[in-house]
A and B are shown apart, each in its own frame.
Chain A
Amino acid sequence: MDDVQLDGMLHVAFLRSEHAHARLRGVDVAAARRRPGVVAVYAADDLGDYWQPGPLLVPPPPIPGLVFHACTQVPLVKDKARHVGEPIAMVVAESRYVAEDAVADIVVDVAPLQAVVDLEAALERGAPLVHEHLSSNLAAHVVQEKGDYNAAKATAHRVVQRRFHYDRGISAAIENRAVAARWDARAEELTVWDTTQAPIPIRNGLARMLGLLESQVRVIAPFVGGGFGPKIMMFYPEEVLVPWAAMRLGRPVKWTEDRQENFTATTQERGQVHDAELAVTRDGKILGVKDVFLHDSGAYDSYGLTVPINSQCTLLGPYDVPNYYTEFTAVFTNKTLVTPVRGAGRQHGVFVMERLLDFAARELGIDRLEIRRRNYLAPEAFPFNNEIIFQDSAPLVYDSGDYAPALAQAAQMIGYEQFVREEQPRLRVAGRHVGIGIVSYIEGTGIGPYEGARVTIEPSGEVRVATGVGTQGQGHFTSFAQIVAEVLGVPMERIHVVTGDTREFNWGTGTFASRGAVVAGTACHAAAALVRDKIFAVASRVLQVPQERLELVGGRMMVKDATDGGIELGALAARANPLRGAVRPGTEPGLEATAYYGPDRGSTASGVHAMIVEVDPETAMVEIRRYVVVHDCGRLINPMLVEGQIHGGVAHGIGNAFYEQLVYDDGGQLQNASFMDYLLPTATDVPRVEVAHRETASPLNPIGLKGVGEAGCIPTGAAFAQAVEDALADYGLEITEIPLSPDKLFDLLKKTRPKKRNVVVIDGSFVFQGSREAVYALLQDPEVLGKSLPGAMHLGRTGDGRYDGLMRVGIGPVTAAEFSVSVTLHDQKPPAGYGMIVEGKGGFGFVRGTAQVALADHGDGTEMTYRAEVQVGGTIAGVGQRLLDSVAKRMTRQGLEALNTALAARL
C-alpha cells in the first residue's frame, strides 16, 4: 500500500500514549505547528463533531442472558488513554521525517493511573476501571448450555480438571497497516487506499462519517501484504483520520504504520484463562465438559464477542459431547484491543479439549488415539446440531464430516504405532527425549452474511470477474478464475479477476473467518452459471438452433456433432450488445451476470495434526522432526493453494506454541515490541509439513467447499504440548499453557529435573535366552522382579504397573541401608519396552530414578537395552560418585543375571 505515491502527498505521524492508563490533562501542539514543513497538527478537540467513538462492528449474537457493554475506540484520546499506543495527536507534514520530528515537539500533560493488566485482578472489587461509566471491568458475560453437565458429572467414572492459560501474540503481517486518501474536489470523489481486509464496509462507513454518498467514496485494498485478521478491525483511528485530513487539506495524505506502532496500535489476540473439566466414563466416553473462562478484550471491545464465542464453539471439536456448560467473562484491560487473529479464538477451545482428552487418556490408561476414536461423531450423525449459538448468530450445526479415517490416515503417515512401539523406546534408551503428538480439530468456516460477484464476457472474448472481498495473498485470483473457467469452459489465461476495489464491486463484507473461497467463490460460480445460461440463450437465437443442440467447447459455442461453424464467446458478447435493433423484453444486454451467495450457516472443516519432537532437557529447546496434516476442507479448488495456506498456518501455530508471546509488565507496558525481542519462527524453526487432503463435501454450497485459511494454526499448540509432554514423559510434567517458550519449558523442567550431582547413570544391554514376549512377561512378575532387583526383599504388585516393597543395599560404610521402594511402570508397550520410575526412601537417604527399557529380537534371544538415571540423596549420597557408580553397575549386572536364570527356569 505504501507504494501509492501521489503528487503533493502529505505524510502523517502520530503521537501515541506512552502510558497504558493515564488521564490526559492537556496537549500543547503549538511548537509542532510552528516547525517548517508541518502542514497541520490535530488533537481530539480539533476534530469537532467528527470526533465520535467507532461503531460496534459485530453486535453480540442472540444468546439468552447475555451481558455486553460496548465500549468502542475513539479517533484521538480526549480524556483518558487506555492502552500504550493509543493515538493522542496527528501530525501532517511534507515528509514522514518532518512529521516525526514534530511529534517530538508536542507536549502532553498526563496523570498516570494504575493499569489494569491481569484478568483476575481486573475483576476484583476496587480494581481501577478502564471505562469509568461502568461499575467494573466486565465487558461481557455469556453462558451457553447443552444438556445437564452437573447431572452427567454425577455419573462420571472420572472428572479431569485443569486450568489452562493462552496468551497474546501479534498477527505479524509483514506489511504493516497503511492508509492513503485523495479528495478530488472537481469530481467530488474520495479515493482511499487501505490495507483493510474489508474495503466495502470501510467505504460505507467512511461515506456515513464524512457525509458523502457511498458512490462518492472509492476504497481500494490493493495487493495487501498479509492480513491474518487485524486488518479487518473497523475502524482504526488512522482509517478515520487520514481521509478526513485529505478532504480538509485538499491534498493527498498518507500514513504508513511502522513496526513499533504495529506492536501497540494494531489489534492482537489470544489472552484467555480457562478452568475446564471433562467428565468421562471408565472407558473414556465423554459425558460432559464444563469450561469457565476469562477473555482479555483489551481496552475496547469494538469487534464484539466473535473471539470468545469461537472458543466456546470450537471446544466441542469433532466429538460427541452430550452435556456442555460454557461460561465466559470478557474483561477490559489497559492493553491493545483484541480482535480476531488467524484462528480467532478457535485454538483456545481446541487446546483445552485436546489437553483434557490427553490427561483423561493417561489417567484411564487408554491410548491417545483410542480415546479420540471412541468419541468422534459418526459420519451418519450429520447435520449435527450442537445446540449452542455460533459467532454468526446461527445455531452451531456441523454440515458434514468424517473424522475417524482422518485420524487413521495421520497416524499411518507419521508412523504412530511404529514410533511408540519401536522407535521411541529405542531412542529413550539412548538417552534421547522424543515424543509424538496427535490431535483433532474442527473449524467453523465460510459464514455469511453474503458475498457477490459479477462475471462479464467482453467482446474481445476476455472474461472479467469482480468480487468485493479483499486479497492478502490467499490466491483468490487463481481460485476464482479456476471456478469461472470451469463453468464457462474458457482458458484460465483469459479470465481477469478483480478483488477489493469498491468501484468494481460494491456489495459484500470482506475476507475473514476462512470464508473467501466458500462465500465469494460460490458467488463467482453462481454468476458464471448465469452467464452460461445467457450464452446458451443468445447463441440459440443467433445460430437458430435449439439450446439442447448446443455445446460450449473451449470458449466457443458449437452445434453438437458439427466439426466447424459455431461462434466465439467474444463475438457472441458483441451480438448480445447490439448498436441497432432491440434487446428483447425480458432479456438483458451483454453477457454479464451478478450473483450473490449467503449461506444460512458456516461449513465445518476438520483435520488432524501430528508431530514428532525431540527435546533437549538441558537447553529446553524443542526440535520438530516431523509434521503431518490431514485436512478436510471439502472439495478442493486448488490443492497447491490449500497446501500453501496450511503451511503458513502451521508456521504461525508453531510461533504461537513456542516462540511468540507479547510480554506486558504490571504497568501495561509491552516489554518486547520489536522483532528482536518478539520471535517469529524462521525457516530453521519450521519443519517441512506433509499434507494429505480428504474431501468431505459440504452440502451447503454447490461446489461442496469449506474454508481453509485459518486451519493450519488452530490445533498446533495442542499437538505441540502433547508431543513435548510425551518426549519428557520421565519428567512427569504437564503443559497447560501456550505459548510455551524455551525459558518457560526450562522452568517446568527445573521443577522436576533430577539434580545433576549424585546422579548415577546405568546403561547397557543384556541378551536373554528367550523370546521378547517371554522376557516382557517375566519383567511384569513381582516375584521374579523381587528376586532380581538388587537388594529387594519383598515386592508386591499394588496396582496396574505399580509395585511396592522393601530393599536393602550396602554401599561402602553404609552396610545395610533399608529403603521402602515403589516401582511404577509407564508407557508399557509389550513386548517392545516400558519406562520405569523407582522411588525409595529410608533412614539413610533417598533414591529416585527413571529408567527406559527396550526389547529387541536378537537371534533366538532378546536383547534388552536399558538406561537409568538414579538420583541419590541423604547419607548414602555422601559416599561419593565413584563408589555409587561401581555399586550400581555391580548390582545391575547381578540383577540381570538373576533374571536370566529365572527365565531359563521358566522356559
Chain B
Amino acid sequence: MEPRLLLSDFLRQDLGLTGTHVGCEHGVCGACTVLLDGEAVRSCLILAVQADGHEVATVEGLGSVEDLHPLQAAFRQAHALQCGFCTPGILMTLVPFLDEHPNPAESEIREALSGNLCRCTGYQNIVDAVKLSTPVPAGW
C-alpha cells in the first residue's frame, strides 16, 4: 500500500469497515477514533503503515445489532445519538476510559468526552448513557 494512506481511509476503503467515520481529518472531531493496542487514537492522524504489527479495534468489533455492547445498549436506551455520525468515535473513546474509570463522576465523563464533537445531542444524553452503563459511584 501507499505509505501516505491514512489509517482511516485504509479501514473504510480498503477493508470496507465504514463504521469508523471521518469528520475533520485534522484530529479534532474524534469521529474516527479507533483503538490501537487498546488505546484510543485518531485514525485520521495515523498512517496505515504505522499500524503494521499492531492490533486495531474499530466499532465493528464492539458489538453487533443482535448483541450490543452494554455501552451501545445504554446509548440506545438514553437516546444518546441523533444522527449517529460521531457515535462510533465516542464509543471507542469511552471504552478504554471506562476500563480505567469504572465509576466516573459526571465531570470526569465530560472531560473524557471533551475530545469528541457532537452537534446533535448537546452531550447530555451521552453523559447519561455512560452513567446508565456504569455502577452508581459512591457518594451519589
Q: Which residues on A are within 8 Å of B, measured CB to CB?
A: 2-3, 5, 96-97, 171-176, 223-226, 228, 258-259, 472-475, 640-641, 644, 646-652, 674-676, 680, 682-684, 686, 688-689, 712
Contact = CB atoms under 8 A, between A and B. Distances in A.
A645 to B, nearest CB: 8
7 contacts: A5-B16, A174-B21, A259-B25, A475-B82, A647-B121, A675-B24, A683-B110
A259 B119 contact: no
Given A259-B23, A675-B28, A683-B126, A224 B121 contact: no
A225 B83 contact: yes
A686 B116 CA distance: 13
Contact of B111 (A258, A644, A684): A684
B123 interface: yes
Contact of A259 (B4, B24, B126, B127): B24
A644 B125 contact: yes
Contacts of A2: 12, 18, 22
Given A225-B83, A651-B122, A174 B12 contact: no
Given A174-B23, A473-B83, A228 B119 contact: yes
Given A97-B2, A172-B119, A473-B84, A683 B127 contact: yes
Nearest to B24: A259
B24 to A, nearest CB: 4
Nearest to A228: B119
A884 to B, nearest CB: 41
B120 A473 contact: yes
B83 A175 contact: yes
B79 interface: yes
Interface string B27-42: 0110100000000000
Contact of A647 (B22, B86, B122): B122
The 7 A-B pairs of least Cβ separation, nearest first, read: A225-B85, A473-B83, A647-B122, A473-B82, A651-B122, A675-B28, A683-B113
A647 B26 contact: no
Interface string B106-140: 00011101111111111111110000000000000
A682 B83 contact: no
Given A97-B4, A175-B23, A259-B26, A689 B117 contact: no
A617 to B, nearest CB: 24
A647 to B, nearest CB: 3
A175 B114 CA distance: 18
Contacts of B24: 259, 674-675
Question: Which of B84, B85, B116, B124 has the largest number of chain A CB atoms within 10 A?
Answer: B124
B13 interface: yes
Contacts of A174: 21, 23, 29, 31, 83, 85-86, 117-119
Contacts of A228: 119
Among A2, A649, A683, chain B packs the most CB atoms within 10 A around the CB of A683
Nearest to B117: A680
A62 B89 CA distance: 48
Contacts of B125: 644, 647
Interface residues of B, number: 42
A440 to B, nearest CB: 21
Interface of B is mostly: loop
A579 to B, nearest CB: 36
Given A3-B12, A473-B84, A650-B122, 10 more contacts: A174-B83, A174-B117, A258-B25, A259-B24, A259-B25, A472-B83, A475-B82, A652-B119, A686-B122, A688-B124
Among A2, A172, A225, A688, the most chain B Cβ lie within 10 Å of the Cβ of A225
Interface in B28-73: 28-29, 31
A589 B24 CA distance: 51
A641 B28 contact: no
A226 B119 contact: yes
A686 B124 contact: yes
A684 B111 CA distance: 6
A175 B2 contact: no
Interface in B77-91: 79, 81-86
Interface in B1-22: 2, 4-5, 9, 12-13, 16, 18, 21-22
A684 B127 CA distance: 11
A470 to B, nearest CB: 11
B28 A689 contact: no
B25 A644 contact: no
Nearest to B127: A683
A683 B114 contact: yes
Contacts of A259: 23-26, 29
Contacts of A674: 24, 26, 28
Contacts of A226: 82-83, 85, 119-120
A683 B85 CA distance: 16
B44 to A, nearest CB: 10
A257 to B, nearest CB: 11
Given A2-B12, A258-B25, A648-B121, A175 B85 contact: yes
A97 B84 CA distance: 27
Contacts of A649: 122
Nearest to A176: B23
B21 A175 contact: yes
Contacts of B119: 171-174, 226, 228, 648, 651-652, 680
Contacts of A474: 82
